Structure 1
Amino acid sequence: MTLPAVPASRLGRYGRLPALAGPSFLTIGFFARLPLAMLTVGALTLVTAVSGSVATGGFAAGAVGVGSALGAPLLGYLADRTGQRPVLLISAILNTIAIALVVTASYTVPDFTATSTALILGAAFGMGLTCPQIGPLARVRWIALTRGTQRGDLDTALSYESTADELTFVLGPALVGLLASVIAPWLPLTLAAVLTVIMVSAFAVHPTVQAVVPLSRRPHPAREGEPIVHRREPGSRRFWLLVPLPVLGMVAMGTFFGSTQTALIAFAGEFGAATSAGLLYAVMGLSSAAAALSVAYWPARLSASFRWIISAGGMSLLSLFLFIPQEVPLMLLVLFVLGIPVGPTMVTIFSIGSLVAPKELMGTVMTLLASGIVAGTAIGAAVAGTLAEANGFSAAFVVPVAAAGALLVLGFVSLAVPRQHQSD
């Protein structure tokens, strides 16, 4: 795919993105990823409302999360092998069917017996397993589109993608809560299905898909008589040994997210407002999203590893302030400030992932990073919930502090990665 000349824009570096990918790509990509942010909370809300059991709703939400964590790298691998378009179109159809099964089974089963509950949980698992992975696959397209363009274009694109992820995971649950409470608990999942059919399909057929060449259509030099040149490239298979580094980083990031959410529920519960914990968490999400955009303007001489260390160091320091607030207004301030280093940390880990991933399996690695967040969120929520129940919300805040510390340690470990690539 030949890259067009990219004109200057009054929007600066972010104005280059629609010029590189087309004016519709950002809008389509944003709304196509919104269903992923609605499925977990949507399943929790629907099943809880219909069954009257928070535990059953929690199991349904957990089934969605497990399915997503397992399905994401599988879909990424299939996209690398056969191309994004067929994988996205098929997953959109299967995901819509799974959503319809969850909604239908929730309302048509006579009662929530073990058998009927298993049916709903199985459908919820399928809903997560088949959910199209728009964020990771959009990053794969940006990596291809920005290859050979101005230095900093990839960081700008990844900054935008992290901001889009943050905003959808703030807006998605809020939209679920609004629609379920004002209209009906089945509506959020139905809307997610409609968005999947329309927006994921539009994303699948968008012209940018041509920038990513799947393995099935790549030439084989040995078969064509061309010489095989052995050289160390950033995308060579030898760097698979480095892939666990950003994956572990995303597990730690997910642990930070899940434990913070759970600890905030316990904190808000002290004031009889546990249901408002999502609003507290949204404050951190908004500052994180805004800060992610700033990464595009960080000095180019600052390597990804040093960005990781600086951002994770800020998270480690500021997370200690979570122990201080004993009232909601002060907690809002702490969360807003804490969110500032969170966004840049996420952007940087994705940048490291793009450095160490084999070029031919970029989608697999990007979806592995997304799965790391999901798995870490579950870990963080479980550990923080146990600590909060036994010792109160202050004990639960130990988990995000520990997760931020782990991110800082991994940041120092990553120092070798860019240097190895730059020296090749």
Structure 2
Amino acid sequence: MTQDTSTPTQAPSLDHIPADPAKSPGPGGRYQAIFALAGKSFFPIAFLARLPLAMLTVGALTLITEVSGSYALGGFAAGGVGIGSAIGAPLLGYLADRIGQRPVLLGTAVGNPVAIGLFLLSAALLDPSDAPFWMLAAALFMGASCPQVGPMARVRWMAMTSRRPQGREMDTALAYEGTADELTFVLGPALVGLLAAAVAPWLPLALAAVLTASMVTAFAVHHTVEHVVPTSRRPKISRKGAVQGAPVPEAPAPQVRPQWLLIMVPVLGMVAMGSFFGSTQTSLTAFAGSFDMATSAGLIYAAMALSSAVAALSVAFWPERFGTAGRWVLCAAAMLAFTLLLFLPSSIGTMVVVLMILGLPVGPTMVSIFGIGAIVAPRELMGTVMTMLASGVVTGTALGSSVAGRLADSYGHSHAFIVPTASAAALLLLSLFAVRAARKRTAA
């Protein structure tokens, strides 16, 4: 007898009360529906488990700069974390697709704190006059082993909502995940700055190690992981198209092969989104520096992040006629228009207002790109594609920061704002390809 592996049978618990799939909750009940679907404990666990990812890059930069007195070495360490994450994330996603999320997450829950410990040790023994080989190696290891909680949470949501076409749970869940990511990347660097200034520069990384060991482990064993069935546990299809050990079906469903050209559309979209984030933050640092407030650039940037997070939550209530690809087109066009406002402010207060306006289309754009990723990704590579999207943000952030920093050094902050505008233009161009990709994948 063939077992249905798409959604494993399990006894309901007090924490996991499935909603009625025959009902589509109204706007006021959409977030209650996903709370019922995953269980209330999922949300604090997944949020705290992803917090270390937002702390590692800034934590490495802060610690090495403080220990060595060199911004160059600090940037070198932060770049190592970013490169390691960009390389390691898709590999972790592929392993999760093959053998399951739980063993991969448990492995990183052990490996990443070890990597953080090695990095702290290298910082304690660092001599700025020597080539910091061990520091760079530890930074790469720290980035590569960082648990990809956000992408894997999205994969769980896609599995849990795959048999619920009458509701809008997936849109709601992706909207929540976009907000969680935004808040994480606001709170993470702020927490690093607070702990480093108030106690010691090594404390943020030590806290990240503790959070990873505890909360990632809790995320790994949470019951929602059972909804994601790895390829190693799925029934094998014989050459005649029958599941081994089962009767031959009348019309076996063909396996969907990865269409990498379609998959690269949302991946490049996340690279452009990362470039927008990195270049905006760097440009704002230069802008604030002109008022002798460079250290407050993170607080100024938070204005955009907070409005973006609120706007991401609103996606669950948008009319369905927009569609995922159409929403990307609309929001990217708004981003491009609003980035032109960055060239106008002549004071910090005015810039804060502009950033709050600019953030409104940013969150929905991210939600839409992840939605397109879910549409074009084959089921058996969902984790790989989701982590590729996350890696795209990291890569784009490094690229945007670098280009904007060079322009700011050479020509001033007004020229650096060209990079966020160009990134938004790239997002709009890619959104047109996303419309075609969504149609092609749906028709396949």
Amino acid paired to 1:191? L
- What is the rounded CA distance, in whole Å, between the counterparts of 1:9 and 1:355 in structure 2? 24
1:382 paired to 2:382: no
Amino acid paired to 2:171? D
From 103, 117, 129, the equivalent of 2:144 is 129
**Structure-to-structure mapping, 1:13-24, within 5 angstroms:** 13-24=30-41
- What is the rounded CA distance, in whole Å, between the counterparts of 2:401 and 2:353 in structure 1? 22
Q: How far apart are 1:273 and its partner, in Å?
A: 1.0
CA contact (8 A) 1:94 1:130 kept: yes
- What is the rounded CA distance, in whole Å, between the counterparts of 2:251 and 2:415 in structure 1? 56
**Which residue of the partner structure matches residue 362 of structure 1?**
382
**Which residue of the partner structure matches residue 328 of structure 2?**
308
Q: How far apart are 1:174 and its partner, in Å?
A: 0.2
User: Deviation string for 1:239-268 (max 9, x for gaps)?
Assistant: 333000000100000010010011001101
CA contact (8 A) 1:158 1:350 kept: yes
Amino acid paired to 1:32? A
- What is the rounded CA distance, in whole Å, between the counterparts of 2:385 and 2:443 in structure 1? 23
CA contact (8 A) 1:259 1:380 kept: yes
From 65, 73, 92, the equivalent of 1:56 is 73
CA contact (8 A) 2:278 2:397 kept: yes
- What is the rounded CA distance, in whole Å, between the counterparts of 2:250 and 2:341 in structure 1? 56
From 400, 415, 419, the equivalent of 2:435 is 415
Calculate percent identity across the aligned residue pairs. 60
The DSSP-based 3-state class of the residue aligned with 1:148 is coil
Amino acid paired to 1:114? D
Amino acid paired to 1:136? P
**Which residue of the partner structure matches residue 114 of structure 1?**
130
**Which residue of the partner structure matches residue 319 of structure 1?**
339
Q: How far apart are 1:385 and its partner, in Å?
A: 0.6
**Structure-to-structure mapping, 1:30-49, within 5 angstroms:** 30-49=47-66
User: Deviation string for 1:67-124 (max 9, x for gaps)?
Assistant: 0000000000000000000001111111000101111221134x23434x11111101
1:402 paired to 2:422: yes
Amino acid paired to 1:125? L
Uncovered stretches (5+) of structure 2, i.e. residues with no partner: 1-7, 11-16
Q: TM-score, normalised by structure 1?
A: 0.96
Q: Which moved more, 1:412-421 or 1:242-251?
A: 412-421
CA contact (8 A) 2:27 2:317 kept: no
Q: How far apart are 1:231 and its partner, in Å?
A: 5.3
Distance 1:56 1:88, change over 3 A: same
User: Deviation string for 1:371-418 (max 9, x for gaps)?
Assistant: 000000011001111111111100000000011011011111111233
- What is the rounded CA distance, in whole Å, between the counterparts of 1:173 and 1:252 in structure 2? 22
CA contact (8 A) 1:303 1:418 kept: no
**Which residue of the partner structure matches residue 3 of structure 2?**
none
CA contact (8 A) 2:97 2:384 kept: yes
**Which residue of the partner structure matches residue 105 of structure 1?**
122
- What is the rounded CA distance, in whole Å, between the counterparts of 2:376 and 2:36 in structure 1? 27
**Which residue of the partner structure matches residue 169 of structure 1?**
185
Distance 1:379 1:313, change over 3 A: same
- What is the rounded CA distance, in whole Å, between the counterparts of 1:273 and 1:230 in structure 2? 64
Uncovered stretches (5+) of structure 1, i.e. residues with no partner: none
Amino acid paired to 2:342? L
**Which residue of the partner structure matches residue 147 of structure 1?**
162
**Which residue of the partner structure matches residue 340 of structure 1?**
360
User: Deviation string for 1:345-384 (max 9, x for gaps)?
Assistant: 0000000000000100100000000000000001100111
1:94 paired to 2:107: no
Q: How far apart are 1:151 and its partner, in Å?
A: 2.7
User: Deviation string for 1:170-228 (max 9, x for gaps)?
Assistant: 00000000000001111000000000000000000001000000011111121616459
1:69 paired to 2:91: no
Q: How far apart are 1:2 and its partner, in Å?
A: 4.2
Amino acid paired to 1:118? F
User: Deviation string for 1:279-318 (max 9, x for gaps)?
Assistant: 1111100000000000000111221111001000100000
**Which residue of the partner structure matches residue 266 of structure 1?**
286
Please report the RMSD computed on the Cα atoms of aligned residues, expressed in angstroms. 1.7
CA contact (8 A) 1:221 1:228 kept: no
**Which residue of the partner structure matches residue 216 of structure 2?**
200
From 126, 135, 159, the equivalent of 2:175 is 159
From 16, 19, 22, the equivalent of 1:6 is 19
CA contact (8 A) 1:9 1:15 kept: no
Q: TM-score, normalised by structure 2?
A: 0.92
Amino acid paired to 2:137? G
- What is the rounded CA distance, in whole Å, between the counterparts of 1:208 and 1:187 in structure 2? 32
How many residue pairs align between the two structures?
420
- What is the rounded CA distance, in whole Å, between the counterparts of 1:309 and 1:119 in structure 2? 45
1:352 paired to 2:378: no
